[in-house]
Amino acid sequence: MKALVQRVTEASVTVADEVIGQIEQGMLVLLGVEQTDTEEQAVVLANKVASFRMFSDAADKMNLCVQDIAGQILVVPQFTLAADTQSGRRPSFSSAAPPQRANALFEHFVNHLQQLGIPVATGRFGADMKVALVNDGPVTFMLHTTNSEG
């Protein structure tokens, strides 16, 4: 499971000209789910995202997590993160989880963040979404789990 995490001052996701998810300061998480991913990995990654120190403290060091700053998280499903781009000029999506399984793990990830007390907004699985953000820094990290986690 992969999460492209961006520190933002604001972010939103729109479907069919309607804003369906919006946050202020916090994190935009683009979440990719692969065939071998599990519910345990979704929990591991949610915990990693929630505790990841990417926000600056008073000394301007990245020592604070989203909970420390009372931030919010916008989670957007992004199956293209599961693409294999190692050969050729066209990505292969054979490692991406099937839609029903990917959606279930996406929901599990979101639910775990909410159980941790973090305000979470989401995109819509399978929809054509327009994502807007103001990347703060810019600060962007790729977090992932492995089959040995979970």
Point out the residues that are catalytic: 78-80
Q: Using CB atoms within 10 A of its CB, is residue 62 exposed (0-12), middle (13-18) or buried (19+)?
A: middle
- The SS3 of residue 114 is helix
User: Is residue 32 a contact partner of residue 136, using CB atoms and an 8 Å limit?
Assistant: no
Q: What is the dihedral of CA 144, 84, 13, 126, to 10 degrees?
A: -110
User: Is residue 77 a contact partner of residue 15, using CB atoms and an 8 Å limit?
Assistant: no
Could you give the CA distance from residue 40 to residue 17 in angstroms, rounded to a whole number?
35
Q: Using CB atoms within 10 A of its CB, is residue 141 exposed (0-12), middle (13-18) or buried (19+)?
A: middle
According to DSSP, residue 81 is labeled G
